[in-house]
Amino acid sequence: MDFKSVIRTIPDYPKPGVMFRDVTTLLGHPRAFRAAVDAMVQPYAGMRIDKVAGIEARGFILGGAVAHQLSTGFVPVRKKGKLPHTVLGEDYDLEYGKDRVEIHVDAVKPGENVVVVDDLIATGGTCFAAIKLLERAGAKVVGCLFVIDLPELGGADKIRALGKEVTSLVAFEGH
């Protein structure tokens, strides 16, 4: 499957000079969505995976499908203030300021093998924070899955530097 052909590019969004890679067109294409989920699951087929952690929001869609295929549980990694129960949180830097991701305190058990899923890896800040958060909760993050990598922004390399396996289905040049 040529995933690039089903991912829409929107120039100058959210600001001039940015080429926004819109994965919603892939999600709306039945064969491409199925092929993407199958390709994301493949590296972990036969491995013990206890949970899939999906990063808000498109990571929920992809992560839920990956968790279903791996017959495992799903952990939503949410933005601050969105979860109703007691949470653990991890702050991370944005271009202008800080943000925070959170999980429920009982979302993972110590020693569980977890795969992190999101639609895109750019600078890696959100994924880095999710990994730190899950590991602080006792999980072992065994890898990270993305549909899109923007290699020029260095996020995948930042995650690999943590010793994590990174799988992406397609890479786009630029931002």
pTM: 0.96
pLDDT of residue 93: 87
Choose, from 58, 90, 102, 112, the residue flagged as catalytic: 58
- Cβ atoms 127, 135 nearer than 8 A: no
Half-sphere exposure (Cβ direction) of 27: Cα atoms closer than 13 Å: 17
- Cβ atoms 103, 131 nearer than 8 A: no
pLDDT of residue 97: 80
Q: What is the CATH topology of the domain spanning 48-171?
A: Rossmann fold (3.40.50)
List the chain pLDDT tens, one digit each, 175 residues.
Answer: 999 999 999 999 999 999 999 999 999 999 999 999 999 999 999 999 999 999 999 999 999 999 999 999 999 999 999 999 999 999 998 767 899 999 999 999 999 999 999 999 999 999 999 999 999 999 999 999 999 999 999 999 999 999 999 999 999 987 6
pLDDT tens digits, one per residue of 147-171: 999 999 999 999 999 999 999 999 9
pLDDT of residue 160: 98
pLDDT of residue 174: 72
Choose, from 48, 78, 90, 95, the residue flagged as catalytic: 95
Rg, the chain, Cα only: 15
The rounded distance, in Å, linking the Cα atoms of 56 and 48 is 24
**Residue closest to 26 by CA, chosen among 39, 15, 45:** 39
Told to judge if 165 belongs to the known catalytic residues of this protein, a careful annotator would answer no
Beta bridge partners of 166: 144
φ/ψ (deg, to 5) at 12: 60, 35
Told to judge if 112 belongs to the known catalytic residues of this protein, a careful annotator would answer no
